[in-house]
Amino acid sequence: MYGTNMTVRKRLTWIFLLASLFFFILIGRLAWIQFVQGEELHNKALEVRLRDVPVEAKRGSILDRNGKELVTSISVDSIYATPGHVKNPREAAEKLAPILDMDVDTLYKRLTRKSSFEWIKRKVDNDTAQRVRELNLTGIEFVEESKRYYLKPTLAPHVLGFTGIDNQGLIGIEKSYDEELRGQPGRIVVEHDAAGRPVPEAIHQYIPPKPGYDLVLTIDETIQYFVERELDKVVAQYNPKFALVIVMDPETGGILAMGNRPTFNPNNWQEEPREVWDKNPAIWYNYEPGSTFKIVTAAAALDEGTVRPEDRFFDPGYIKVADRNIRCWKAGGHGSQSFAEVIQNSCNPGFIAVGLNTGKDKFYKYIEAFGFGQRTGIRLPGEAGGIVIPQKSATTLNLATMSIGQSIAVTPIQLVTAVAAVANDGMLMKPQLVKEIRYNGKTVSTIKPEKVRQVISRDTAHQLCGLLESVVAEGTGRNAFVEGYRVGGKTGTAQVVGERGGYVDGRYVASFAGIAPVDNPKVAVLVVVAEPKGGIYYGGQVAAPVFQAVVRDTLRYLGIPETPGLVKPKEPWEVETPRVEVTVPNVVNYPVEDACRAIQAAGLKYRTRGEGEIVYEQTPGAGARVNGGTTVILELQPVGKRKSGDPVTVPDLRGLSIKEAGNLLENIGLRLSPEGSGVAVEQSVKPGGKVAERTLIRVKFEPPRREPAKTSPEGGTVSRGQDKLENPYRD
């Protein structure tokens, strides 16, 4: 009996101990969950029953300098799904797909994903949103977002830029000021039960978004309109590769207008070719400025005292530098002339003599002081820095050619900033696009004009302005004359530098850089027209009239009083277009687009006859020597129209890659047998030869041989200054 009681007691003791241990374990576990894991588990519970819907902030507006709204944001609906709450995903996908113009299977995959939130389609129009609402589908809901809207789509799109689907800035001001414009997003927090239904009297929190700041630009809508109008005229008349105009306030560095062609509609940027909107030529295009750069040469020489306006020069039509003769654009030269007349006549030998007399050290001092070879700091994405031969590597020949705007590459924004410095008493200003940042209509930040450095003295600047006025009154810039106003400026005509170095025949950049009024400059303007068509390419003929129209309307709009008694030049500036002989390329059997490009690249015009995709005959024939601007007749025929058995004319394959040569031969019924790699240098059948269809053409390919060219980080090139220095076609 005693033994039995002891056994029972032992068992009860063990049970008590085990129960106590279990109890303490439960207490410990409860404490762990409550105090250690409590916050984490609480958040997980909220995630299960709370739905967090993002609320996009309204992006700030962009206004012109007078407060006119250029860019705003409008409210639109975006459609999203909670996949677990969609009752019949397949049926829902089939109903939604035709309304949203989406693929049924793609939509079905989204509706069946294991997630609590899936975008279906964002920023749809009102009609589409209403049609989806009428379906009344469970698990398909709406959230209000904002969509960027450009009120004047053709006005400065490269400057304003555009945004992506998440309202993030992608190019232009939209990108560079994205942080200021975007604001802070908000959210809606709603509690749901296990079936996905809102819980009455439950958590329903709205965290409002904070809208972005508004930007007030230096751009003037009216002046920008003048620029856009004249650019449209240039495109209609000359069909250039591209054209641009920049208008700057010399005193502040504020950009009053900046326009480019080709252009695009930022409201539908996805539908535009990428090459049109991807870069802003006004800030990234590296080009040889030609005679517009003579403003810098004159500024350096006058400021250093190397030359005075009355100093005499004799121009026999050329100047010998090292082993080269660099000719003047005027046959026979200008004879005896003062430096003032050298500027009026844009005389190459005169400017080269001045540049050489100034010396490399002093000349480079002003190149650097004016900001060439470095970014201006304008707050736009993608700015290039230009290309300048390092001073220690520059030869006497380089110095000579830089004096007339060759062997150096600048960007348009650099050049107009330098010209504005001359107009601003020699003070270089940093280019500016935004002058105020506002919130709820109140100014929160004012961006003041920024002085960079004093480049030339005040006296030199005034003297140079007077000399530039004589260019418009009596010299090559007469087509820029603005009735009633004293205007100064400089023309420029430069050949295009090829990708492999050297200059390209028949391709030019026409430009004009100027200021107005000369006695109290209010605007500095640069006009650049790249590769105009039609045989007219001088800056004084192509760009100067654009400057004249923009400046005339701008000064009148700004209310600048006219100067009475100004005498208009007797005759507009004209030049007899030199007769340049070029070789007609062989484009027989070329696709018509490629043939037209080859003809234009040679400095010729073209006219097509018939219909089709392939050129089967040309007049004049390949290899003929004709004057630049001659029209080549291209006879066309559709692919496959040639009768079986007719001989095939072999095209000129030299310079083409293996892929290009193979595609071309295949299109005309021939076969390629390549040897080597690179570009075609030899072919078994001479261009123009007749062979039977399916003939095998053996072509030898070699790596391209070319003189190294200076390459900028942005991809531009500039010649070394030793190619075609005798080119006379510059004003």
The answer for residues whose C-beta is within 8 angstroms of residue 210's C-beta and 6 or more apart is 57, 183, 184, 186
Choice among 291, 346, 403, 719 that is catalytic = 291
pLDDT at 47 over 80: no
Is the residue at 437 inside a domain?
Answer: yes
Mean of pLDDT values over 305-315: 93
Told to judge if 146 belongs to the known catalytic residues of this protein, a careful annotator would answer no
Tokens coding 417: 């900033």
Is the residue at 272 inside a domain?
Answer: no
Does 344 lie in the same domain as 297? yes
The parent domain of residue 16 ranges over: 2-36
The pLDDT value recorded for residue 723 is: 38
Does 523 lie in the same domain as 389? yes
Q: Greater confidence, 559 or 664?
A: 559
Does 210 lie in the same domain as 225? no
The answer for residues whose C-beta is within 8 angstroms of residue 482's C-beta and 6 or more apart is 516, 548, 551, 552, 555
Does 424 lie in the same domain as 380? yes
- pLDDT band at residue 458 using 50, 70 and 90 as cut-offs: very high
Is the residue at 580 inside a domain?
Answer: no
Does 398 lie in the same domain as 255? yes
Is the residue at 274 inside a domain?
Answer: no
pLDDT tens sequence across 412-423: 999 999 999 999
Q: Look up the CATH number of the domain holding residue 165.
A: 3.90.1310.10
Is the residue at 105 inside a domain?
Answer: yes
Backbone dihedral region for residue 196 (phi beyond 0: left; psi -120 to 50: alpha; all else: beta): left
Is the residue at 542 inside a domain?
Answer: yes
Largest Cα–Cα distance in the chain? 146
Share of the chain above pLDDT 90, in %: 44
Does 76 lie in the same domain as 8? no
Cα dihedral 456, 461, 467, 470 in deg (nearest 10): 140
Does 196 lie in the same domain as 236? no
pLDDT tens sequence across 635-684: 887 755 555 667 777 877 877 788 888 887 887 778 888 888 888 888 89
Does 616 lie in the same domain as 552? no
Tokens coding 410: 């600048």
Is the residue at 567 inside a domain?
Answer: no
β partners of residue 607: 633
β-pair type (118-124, 140-150): unpaired
For the chain, the distance separating the N- and C-terminal CA atoms, rounded to the nearest angstrom, is: 131
Give the chain's domain count.
4
- pLDDT band at residue 85 using 50, 70 and 90 as cut-offs: confident
- pLDDT band at residue 50 using 50, 70 and 90 as cut-offs: low
Does 395 lie in the same domain as 473? yes
- pLDDT band at residue 53 using 50, 70 and 90 as cut-offs: low
Mean of pLDDT values over 148-166: 90
Tokens coding 627: 């004057």
Tokens coding 2: 């005693």
Q: Look up the CATH number of the domain holding residue 336.
A: 3.40.710.10
The pLDDT value recorded for residue 648 is: 78
- pLDDT band at residue 114 using 50, 70 and 90 as cut-offs: confident
**pLDDT, mean over the chain:** 84
Does 248 lie in the same domain as 178? no
Does 229 lie in the same domain as 168? no
Tokens coding 720: 């070394």
> In three state form, how does the secondary structure of 108-131 look?
HHHHCCCCCCEEEEEEECHHHHHH
Mean of pLDDT values over 197-201: 53
Report whether 409 contacts 387 (CB < 8 A): yes
Where are the strands (E) in 364-405, listed by range?
387-388
pLDDT tens sequence across 236-247: 999 899 999 999
Mean of pLDDT values over 39-46: 64
Does 533 lie in the same domain as 421? yes
Is the residue at 727 inside a domain?
Answer: no
The pLDDT value recorded for residue 52 is: 66
| CA 263/CA 228 separation, integer angstroms | 10
pLDDT tens sequence across 590-613: 777 778 877 877 777 788 887 777
> In three state form, how does the secondary structure of 511-549 look?
EEEEEECCCCCCEEEEEEEECCCCCCCCHHHHCHHHHHH
Q: Greater confidence, 581 or 335?
A: 335
pLDDT at 462 over 50: yes
- pLDDT band at residue 138 using 50, 70 and 90 as cut-offs: confident
Q: What angle do CA 595, 601, 606 make, to 5 degrees?
A: 50
